[in-house]
Structure 1
């Protein structure tokens, strides 16, 4: 049986996207090894189509990365698919040597033109997962998919009951790695105030917005900083739907089968900010300066982040109300 190594070190959303390739390759009968950073291994746990997860320490140096590659030579990979194309992945590849290698070429020039000259050279139907699939030569009909074990769901369901969650709920993921991606605190609070049901908020320890939108609401269960990555994924798999910005957990929710309302601001389809679940909704404000960066890292030059503040509460409410109870 042919054996393939897929490399994608980070981040949450990008790793989620690569699982479309995993689904497709397994359908062709490949044995699949997946290399990623140790902090992101939980994303891929319980994935039935990944035969081995190769964990790489985030602080691995050049020598160690080459050694990791050379140590894998004996695996006899028929193909190496590098979906990251970073210094890390090049060092690993240099250690492996001799394998048939496919490397994803990033659209650096197109993105420069888009972000700095407002010149969009991307096709209207650009889809990152399709590019990955075409690169691997395996069709384009597969979607990113993550899995959780039924025992995990049972365990987390019991833990949620301890927090007062007993029954259906929606999840909010208001935080983001870059502040420019954040929707307004007032918007989230108005949404929560209008929703007649249980809301679970997920976020990391540094996501202060979680507390800001939760304060004073008895219907909110704020789990900010109380769940690790794997637990957050299981919570999302149990949610009726999720609301949040273009972040890894929102993409993960879709891959787990949970529809989302994605609030896209400084990013757009050309950066991977797209919804893929048939019941999901993508909301954005059609301002001329959007998108301005791949991840939302570039400082906004305007007096207000119109790409986010222009997303109305009423549109989000309509999307949530239309989704809850119908999925």
Structure 2
């Protein structure tokens, strides 16, 4: 018997006997990147106990982060648009979801956030076992009594992936190094669409640098002039550049500012990619350059080398995961502050201190 299986039986008195578990529900109700960082939980459960049916519950708009994951049996969705349907239709939608989940008869529920909905669903589903992190903002008896297993984390000094996997360790499952990797699957349709578009632009898979300069939180983004200067320098060195950005107004305006400063044309897919196509584009790049946002996490999932610029957010929690990467940040004593820019002013001076030469050197290290 492997040592990882002996430890729970000797020391963890309330370890879960997975031979008695048939179905598991993993709940992750957060943003896209957070959902992708939960993907190793599904991998580890299925890899170590192939008999399990492992389901997920996420918001509808984040489903592409986990859909096609080979370890997931069913992916259940909550549509944030339900609240716009009116009280009666919203309640019908909510009850439909609850009925669907009840039919699955889960033996184990793993709740990976402090969202109240996960707590209520756990109480309604009445699994034999349930596990959740200890949250300072959820100290009440109702929350504590809902779950059979609770686990602590070092919030600021532990990567988010490991925090998720601690839920498994708490119940006696210790993931291997390979099982800790992220999983993001583009799918054949997205693959073909992206490869066709690249071919139309004269680009070849594995021969371009993909840059996603923006984030939905623009205070995480590098200065426009520095990003444009980096692109110009990379083109001077002969690199083919492909740009992308989400279709939001703020991000598209930022991309327009960058494009106005470029000396030569680039391949620009900004605002025109689905999430699955974004996965495919990053997967086929020789290098990804971006900030702390979901495309950076996708680069980790696709094992694409990555240059990541970090400002107010904490790289100990959110850095690229188990892929070849270089993190660029400043030595400001106040970072990471997790604020929306300095003084919540939506401009992060720590990011502005990162110089173009630093980024060029990082690219050289990863592509040489």
TM-score range, shorter chain: 0.7 to 0.9
Q: Give unpaired runs (5+ residues) of structure 1.
A: 110-120
Bigger shift: residues 310-319 or 158-167? 158-167
Match among 293, 298, 317 for residue 252 of structure 1: 298
Count of matched residue positions in the alignment of Structure 1 and Structure 2 = 311
Q: Superposition RMSD on alpha carbons, in Å? A: 2.6
Match among 314, 320, 343 for residue 275 of structure 1: 320
State TM-score, norm by structure 1: 0.86
Bigger Rg, structure 1 or 2 = 2
Give the 4+ runs in structure 1 shifted more than 4 A: 106-109, 121-125, 301-304
Please show how residues 80-229 of structure 1 align to structure 2 within 5 Å. 80-106=109-135, 122=154, 126-137=158-169, 138-140=173-175, 141=177, 142-150=180-188, 152-167=190-205, 168-195=207-234, 196-205=238-247, 206=249, 207=251, 208-215=253-260, 216-229=262-275
Q: Aligned partners of 2:137 and 2:325: how far apart in 1? A: 29
Q: Aligned partners of 1:163 and 1:68: how far apart in 2? A: 44
Tell me, yes or no, if the aligned pair for 1:244 and 1:263 is still in contact at 8 Å.
yes
Which structure would you say has the larger RCO, counting Cα contacts within 8 Å and 6 or more residues apart?
Answer: 1
Match among 357, 360, 368 for residue 314 of structure 1: 357
> Shift of the alpha carbon at 1:211?
2.1
Structure 1 residues 79, 240: closer, same or farther in 2, change over 3 A?
same
Structure 1 residues 66, 297: closer, same or farther in 2, change over 3 A?
farther
Structure 1 residues 297, 67: closer, same or farther in 2, change over 3 A?
farther
Q: Give unpaired runs (5+ residues) of structure 2.
A: 1-20, 84-89, 139-152
* 2:75 alignment partner, SS class: strand
Aligned to 1:243: 289
Q: Aligned partners of 2:107 and 2:305: how far apart in 1? A: 36
> Shift of the alpha carbon at 1:188?
0.8
State TM-score, norm by structure 2: 0.77
Q: Which has the higher helix share?
A: 2
* 1:5 alignment partner, SS class: strand
1:85-138 deviation per Cα after TM superposition (whole angstroms, max 9, x unaligned)? 2133234334323442112334769xxxxxxxxxxx958852221121121222
1:216-270 deviation per Cα after TM superposition (whole angstroms, max 9, x unaligned)? 4434112111112221111111111111110011111211211211111010135
